[in-house]
Every structure is written in C-alpha cells, then in structure tokens.
Amino acid sequence: MSQKKINNNQLITKDMNLAEVIFKYPMVAEVLMDYGLHCVGCVLNSLDTIEMGAKIHKLSSEEIEEMVKRANEVAKHEE
C-alpha cells in the first residue's frame, strides 16, 4: 500500500486492499461493516480492494464514494 496521501488528503481510496486498510486503520472496519462489508473479518479480505468487496455486496458507485469518504474521516482521527 502506498504511503502517499491522495488528493484532498485522502488516506484511503477505493482501490486499496481491504486487509491492509483495516490493519493500518482498525476503526475503519466499523464504517465498512455499516455499509454491509462484513468481509473485513474474512480471511479472503486480503484478496479484495475496498471497491471489489463493495461491488460483491451490491453497493452502488455513489455508496462506495460515501463509504470511502466516511472511512477517511475515521482514519484521520486515528492518525
């Protein structure tokens, strides 16, 4: 996972690996689960990006963007 911050000071993007994001920002798991991504605790989460997991769980592009926004808000408080 890149340590580079993305535009708008994003720490998390939809193309990041689920397991790596949860490892670095554990409190983000609650946000992802709020959107139905209960796969944060699954052993297969190391194979999926946030977007891939969200699409598997039938989230729309708009829901994914909102979820990533909320995840960034939480991650910024963890730093």
Q: pLDDT at position 4, please?
A: 44
pLDDT the model gives residue 2 = 42
Which residue positions in the chain have pLDDT lower than 70? 1-8, 79
Complete domains list, the chain, with CATH = 7-78 (1.10.3910.10)
Please say whether the beta carbons of 50 and 32 come within 8 A.
yes
The whole-number pLDDT of residue 3 equals: 44
Instruction: Give the global pTM.
Output: 0.82
What pLDDT sits at residue 7?
A: 52
Res 16: pLDDT: 95
The CA distance from 49 to 47, in Å, is: 7
